[in-house]
Amino acid sequence: MQPPELHPERPSRPAAEWLHPSSEPLPLERYIRVLRQRLWVIVLCVVVCVGVTILYVSTAESVYEAEADLLVTPVEGSEALVGLPLVRESNDPTRDVETVSRLVRSGAVAERVKSDLGSDRTPRGLLNHVTAEPVAQSNIVAITADAETAKEAQQLANGFANAIVEVRTEELHNQLDAVITRLRDRRRAAGGPDTPTRQALELQINELETLRGGPDPSLRVQNPADLPASPVAPRPVLSIVASLIVGLLLGIIGAFALEMLDPRLRREEQVRGLLRLPVLARVPRESLRDKSPLRPNRLSPGAIEAYRTLRATLSVSRGGVSGPRSLLITGASASEGKTTTAINLAASLALAGHRVILIEADLRRPSIGRALGMEPKHDLMDVILDEASLEDALAEVEGYGPNFSVLLARDPGEGGAPFADGLFLPTARTLLERAKEHADFVIVDAPPLTEVIDGLALAEHADELLLVIRLGRSLQKRVVQLGELLAQHGIEPVGIAVVGVPPSESASDYYVTAPRPARKRALARG
């Protein structure tokens, strides 16, 4: 009699093909999914930005602005005006206006404003609230003042506009007085009234005396500042809208930044980007907080349907191969749902009429017995060490009859972990073949191979291997390490069970809705 084959023939691909898939461009839908999954980041940024803005708007003092326009009119060049503080015509009118803008913010002007307004602020303090800028390419200088009240802003803008004219006029008059005095002295020494020199001096003195009788002709207040109708800051509506836009931008940037820095697998597309393997089942995310393995009566209808789908897809993947079959279930890290998958896949197979043996090969953190409420007399190590037969160690699961039996592991507190190397013994290697003599399916719950190597020997002798990846928990680095480890030992997984899928992406509720009570009673009577 020929011994049964350890690995039934099934389609296979080179390890490099499934371990290193080709990269694909990211479609728009994938970006949308990132934004949906990181929606909390966007909402948080918007709430913070808008909240800070509302706090600022409600506590900030109002700021009013008033503007006075100063007209600069350069005077024509004249010999009598040489050396006087006037804005004279030049080849660059823009430079003349810029010069006046700088003079507006001089200390002398600020001192005059302080005196005229009777302000208790220092000249420097007044200058901090005033700007003077040329208006485009015109001869206008815009003097803008800000203050906490509209009246104060108006007074400050007009004060600087009037003060620059007053200061420049005063400087002009002082120099004119000195020049006229010198010209009069020269006139007296020029001789008779009919001499050309005396007549020329008379004309200059008359021109300067006329100029002395008025203000600086090159500067004039064109438009005095009006009383501001409303404050320029804060602007509640504009500020809140701006903060909303800024919050959205920061949130979107933060969402993609977290996506790039997140070491965990969050979407099925990321799983496909690491391993080119078929996804055999998509188990929806459960709302239970308990992290212990879940048996069927604690699962949602959607999760139960997902494990039924896994059962069906595994049957199809056999490719016509008949006979008993062993399937090892593992993952990249702990708490990824491999034990829950093993229990519920075995239960689903048993309900479909198959004889199933579930072997607990995680000797360091056994949990199947606790999940099923079972405490058998003999465990896995008793069978491996030939201290008990496989038949005596198997225990039937309540509610499934002889179709569902388990071979449990010893609790670490009772010395289970030190026997982890027992899985490499020859008797452990033949355990799967012996178990297949009593069942149609042998399901092995193995520890995560990237954390402990205990289950590798069983993985090499199992007919098939199923990877369990939990969205939101499985680390990309660990999944890559697991794939490389399996590839080094010539093991190609049959597929992936993705756990923790959002409900919207899992099976439709149409297929998992329980029948109505009336229909249940009718079925019971039938």
Can you tell me whether residue 144 is helix, strand or coil? strand
Q: Dump pLDDT digits (tens) for 282-335.
A: 999 886 555 678 888 888 899 999 999 999 988 776 655 578 999 999 998 888
Centre a 10 Å sphere on the Cβ of residue 135 and count the other Cβ atoms it contains: 13
pLDDT given at position 317: 62
Asked if residue 357 lies in contact with residue 443, where contact means CB atoms within 8 angstroms, the answer is: yes
Q: How confident is the model at residue 188 (pLDDT cuts 50, 70, 90)?
A: confident
pLDDT given at position 11: 45
pLDDT given at position 7: 43
Listed residue (342, 360, 324, 351) closest to 439, CA to CA = 324
Asked if residue 336 lies in contact with residue 472, where contact means CB atoms within 8 angstroms, the answer is: no
- Give the whole-number percent of the chain exceeding pLDDT 70: 86
pLDDT given at position 415: 46
The residues, ordered by sequence, that sit 6+ positions from 387 with a Cβ below 8 Å of its Cβ are 378, 381
Domain boundaries for CATH 3.40.50.300 within the chain = 265-525
Domain boundaries for CATH 3.30.1890 within the chain = 61-223
pLDDT given at position 165: 95
Q: Is the pLDDT of residue 181 over 50?
A: yes
**Residue that wins the pLDDT comparison between 81 and 252:** 252
Q: Judge if pTM exceeds 0.75.
A: no
Q: How far apart are CA 168 and CA 72, in angstroms?
A: 12
Q: Is the pLDDT of residue 370 over 70?
A: yes
The residues, ordered by sequence, that sit 6+ positions from 290 with a Cβ below 8 Å of its Cβ are none
Range 265-525 has CATH code 3.40.50.740: no
| Own/partner pairs, 76-84, CB within 8 angstroms, 24+ separation | 78/207, 79/204, 80/204, 80/207, 80/208, 81/211, 83/175, 83/179, 84/172, 84/175, 84/176, 84/179
Q: Dump pLDDT digits (tens) for 391-430.
A: 999 999 988 889 999 999 887 665 445 566 777 788 887 8
- 451 backbone dihedrals φ, ψ, rounded to 5°: -100, -40
- Average pLDDT (71-82) is 79
Mean pLDDT (the chain) is 85
Q: How far apart are CA 206 and CA 213, in angstroms?
A: 11
Q: How far apart are CA 362 and CA 188, in angstroms?
A: 124
- 78 backbone dihedrals φ, ψ, rounded to 5°: -150, 145
- 501 backbone dihedrals φ, ψ, rounded to 5°: -75, 140
Listed residue (409, 440, 415, 438) closest to 339, CA to CA = 409
In the chain, count H helices and then E strands.
20, 12
pLDDT given at position 354: 93
**CA distance readout (Å), 148 to 128, 158, 232, 250:** 13, 16, 10, 32
Q: Dump pLDDT digits (tens) for 239-292.
A: 999 999 999 999 999 998 988 888 888 888 888 888 889 999 999 988 655 567
- Examine residue 14 and say whether the peptide bond preceding it is cis (omega within 30 degrees of 0): no
- 94 backbone dihedrals φ, ψ, rounded to 5°: -60, -40
Task: Please say whether the dihedral angle defined by the alpha carbons of residues 177, 178, 179 and 180, taken in this order, is positive or negative.
Answer: positive
Paired strand residues for 328: 444, 465
- Give the whole-number percent of the chain exceeding pLDDT 90: 46
Q: How far apart are CA 262 and CA 169, in angstroms?
A: 70
DSSP per residue, 19-45: HSPPP-PPPHHHHHHHHHHTHHHHHHH
Q: How far apart are CA 423 and CA 312, in angstroms?
A: 30
Centre a 10 Å sphere on the Cβ of residue 100 and count the other Cβ atoms it contains: 21
Q: How far apart are CA 507 and CA 501, in angstroms?
A: 10
Q: Is the pLDDT of residue 221 over 70?
A: yes
- 222 backbone dihedrals φ, ψ, rounded to 5°: -80, -50
- Average pLDDT (468-475) is 91
Sheet with strand 64-72: strands edge to edge:
130-134, 140-147, 64-72, 219-223
**Residue that wins the pLDDT comparison between 25 and 438:** 438
Angle between helices 150-188 and 93-104 (to 10 degrees): 110
- Average pLDDT (50-76) is 92
pLDDT given at position 450: 87
CATH code for the domain defined by 61-223: 3.30.1890
What's 186-239 look like in SS3?
HHHCCCCCCCHHHHHHHHHHHHHHHHHCCCCCCEEEEECCCCCCCCCECCHHHH
Q: Is the pLDDT of residue 166 over 90?
A: yes
